[in-house]
Amino acid sequence: MNLQWLTRRNRFKKRVTVEKRGWQWPKFFGDWRIYARRTALLVLIVGALAGLTWSLDRPIRVISMDGAFQRVSPGQVEKAVAPFTQAGFMSADIDRIQRAVESVPWVDHARVERRFPNSLHVALVEETAAARWGESGLLNTRGQLFVREATHVPAELPRLSGPEGTESQVAQRYLSAQGRMLEAGMRIAALRLDERGAWELDLDSGVTVRLGRRDVDERLDRFIRTASQIIAHRLNDITYVDMRYSNGFAIGWRTAAAPASVPAKHSDDADA
CA dist., res. 37 & res. 198, Å (int): 77
pLDDT score of 1: 44
Angle at 270 (CA atoms; ends 264, 272), nearest 5 degrees = 45
Q: With contact defined as beta carbons under 8 Å apart, do 100 and 84 qualify?
A: yes
The parts of the chain modelled with pLDDT lower than 50 are 1-9, 11-20, 23, 25, 52, 260
CA dist., res. 54 & res. 176, Å (int): 55
Kindly list the distances between the CA atom of residue 60 and the CA atoms of 82, 85, 98, in Å, as whole numbers in the listed order: 10, 6, 16
Q: Is the dihedral of CA 190, 217, 143, 194 positive or negative?
A: positive
pLDDT score of 58: 80
Q: Which helix (H) or strand (E) holds 192?
A: strand 188-193
pLDDT score of 116: 87
pLDDT score of 40: 67
pLDDT score of 8: 47
Q: Is the pTM of this model over 0.85?
A: no
Kindly list the distances between the CA atom of residue 155 and the CA atoms of 33, 130, 159, in Å, as whole numbers in the listed order: 79, 12, 9
Q: With contact defined as beta carbons under 8 Å apart, do 205 and 235 qualify?
A: yes
